[in-house]
Amino acid sequence: MSLAVTSTGDTYMPLLESELLRWVGSGDSLLELACLDALFPPGKLLRPVLCVESAKAVGGTTDQVLAFAAGIECLHVASLVHDDIVDQDPVRRGRASTAEQYGLSEALVAGDGLSMAGIAALLSGGPAEHVLHAARITVEALRHMCQGLMRETQIRGDLTCSVPTVLNIMQAKTAALTGAACQAGAILAGATPQQHQALRQYGEQLGMAFQIRDDLLPYIAEDQVTGKTATSDVANLQPTLPVLLAHEAADEADRNRLSALFRGGTDPVTAHRDILAVLTRTGALAKAARMASSCAEQARAELTGLPDSPQLAELATAAADRQR
Amino acid sequence: MSLAVTSTGDTYMPLLESELLRWVGSGDSLLELACLDALFPPGKLLRPVLCVESAKAVGGTTDQVLAFAAGIECLHVASLVHDDIVDQDPVRRGRASTAEQYGLSEALVAGDGLSMAGIAALLSGGPAEHVLHAARITVEALRHMCQGLMRETQIRGDLTCSVPTVLNIMQAKTAALTGAACQAGAILAGATPQQHQALRQYGEQLGMAFQIRDDLLPYIAEDQVTGKTATSDVANLQPTLPVLLAHEAADEADRNRLSALFRGGTDPVTAHRDILAVLTRTGALAKAARMASSCAEQARAELTGLPDSPQLAELATAAADRQR
Q: In this predicted structure, what is the pLDDT of residue B92?
A: 84
The pLDDT of residue B311: 95
Name the pLDDT band for A223 (thresholds 50, 70, 90): low
Chain B contact present for A82, CB below 8 A: yes
Strand pairing of A95-96 and B91-92? unpaired
Mean pLDDT across B92-108: 90
- Give A173 to chain B, closest Cα distance, Å: 12
Which percentage of chain A shows pLDDT scores above 90?
77
Residue A5: pLDDT band (50, 70, 90) is very low
- pLDDT > 90: percent of chain B: 77
* pLDDT score at B4: 41
Count Cβ atoms within 10 A of the Cβ of residue A194 and give its class: 0-12 exposed, 13-18 middle, 19 or more buried: exposed
Would the pLDDT of A244 be above 50? yes
Residue B264: the pLDDT is: 85
What count of other Cβ atoms lies within 10 Å of the Cβ of residue A264? Answer: 14
Dist. CA B126–CA B130, nearest whole Å: 7
Sign of the C-alpha dihedral computed for residues A105, A107, A108 and A114 taken in this order: positive
Question: Tens digit of pLDDT for each residue in A136-158?
Answer: 999 999 999 999 999 999 999 99
| Residue A4 confidence (pLDDT) above 60 | no
Q: What is the pLDDT of residues B269-290, one digit of tens each?
A: 888 899 999 999 999 999 999 9
Answer yes or no: do B123 and A132 touch at CB < 8 A: yes
Write the DSSP assignment of B37-76 as a string of letters.
HHHSS----HHHHHHHHHHHHTT--HHHHHHHHHHHHHHH
User: Which CATH number is A53's domain given?
Assistant: 1.10.600.10
Containing domain of residue B275, as a range? 5-321
* Residue A145 contacts residue B108 (beta carbons within 8 Å): no
pLDDT band at A281 (very low <50, low <70, confident <90, very high): very high
CA distance linking residue A80 with residue A38, whole number of Å? 9
Q: Is B10 helix (H, G, I), strand (E, B) or coil?
A: coil
Tell me: pLDDT of B165 over 50.
yes
Q: For residue B141, which of B79, B92, B212 has the smallest C-alpha distance?
A: B79
The shortest CB-CB distance from B30 to any of A85, A116, A154 is to A154
The CA distance from B65 to B58, in Å, is 12
pLDDT band at A126 (very low <50, low <70, confident <90, very high): confident
Task: Please give the torsion angle defined by the CA atoms of residues B106, B112, B115 and B116, in that order, rounded to the nearest 10 degrees.
Answer: -120
pLDDT band at B314 (very low <50, low <70, confident <90, very high): very high
Q: Given pLDDT bands bounded at 50, 70 and 90, which one contains residue B88?
A: confident
What is the structure's pLDDT at A162?
A: 93
ipTM greater than cut 0.85: yes
| pLDDT at residue A2, as a whole number | 41
Chain centroid to Cα B96, Å, comes to 19
Give the range among A233-242, A290-299, B53-62 with minimum mean pLDDT: A233-242
Strands A95-96 and A91-92: antiparallel
**Averaged pLDDT for residues A242-267:** 93
Residues 138-177 of B with CB under 8 A from A: 139-140, 142-143, 146-147, 149-151, 153-154
Count of H helices and E strands in chain B? 18, 2
Q: Is A25 helix (H, G, I), strand (E, B) or coil?
A: coil
Nearest CA in chain B to A138: B120
Gap between the Cα atoms of B281 and A50, Å rounded: 63
Tell me the CA end-to-end span of chain A in Å, nearest whole number.
Answer: 8
Section B87-92 average pLDDT:
84
Asked if the model's pLDDT at residue A224 lies above 80, the reply is no
Q: How confident is the model over B147-158, as a mean pLDDT?
A: 93
pLDDT at A287 over 60: yes
Phi, psi of A96 (to 5 degrees): -60, 135
Query: CB contact, 8 Å: A106 with chain B?
Result: yes
Minimum CA–CA partner of A79 in chain B? B112
What is the predicted pLDDT for the residue at B278?
94
Alpha carbon distance A171, A207 (integer Å): 8
Residues in chain A with CB shorter than 8 Å from the CB of B104 are: 85
How confident is the model over A36-80, as pLDDT tens digits? 999 999 988 999 999 999 999 999 999 999 999 999 999 999 999
Q: Percent of chain B at pLDDT above 70? A: 94
Judge: B116–A143 Cβ closer than 8 Å, yes or no. Answer: yes
CA B256 to chain centre: 32
Q: Where are the beta strands (DSSP E) in chain A?
A: 91-92, 95-96
pLDDT at B214: 92
Q: Which residues are CB-contacts of A265 (< 8 A; sequence separation ≥ 6)? A: none
pLDDT value at B196 more than 50: yes
For A117, nearest residue in chain B (alpha carbons)? B143
Per-residue DSSP letter, A92: E
- CA–CA gap between residue B75 and residue B79 (Å, rounded): 6
Tens of pLDDT, residue by residue over A178-216, are: 999 999 999 999 999 999 999 999 999 999 999 999 999
Other beta carbons within 10 Å of B307? 10
User: How much is the average pLDDT of A267-295?
Assistant: 93
A139 vs B contacts (CB less than 8 Å): 116, 119-120, 123
Q: What is the number of domains present in chain B?
A: 1
Q: Among A233-242, B210-219, B226-235, name the one with the lowest average pLDDT.
A: B226-235
Instruction: Check A139 against B119: CB less than 8 A apart.
Output: yes
Give the range among A18-22, A165-169, B165-169, B232-236 with minimum mean pLDDT: B232-236
Residue B141 C-alpha, separation from nearest chain A C-alpha, in angstroms? 9
Distance CA A229, CA B280 (A): 54
Q: In whole angstroms, what is the distance from residue B22 CA to residue B29 CA?
A: 15
Three state DSSP letters for A56-87: HHCCCCHHHHHHHHHHHHHHHHHHHHHHHHHC
pLDDT, chain A, mean: 91
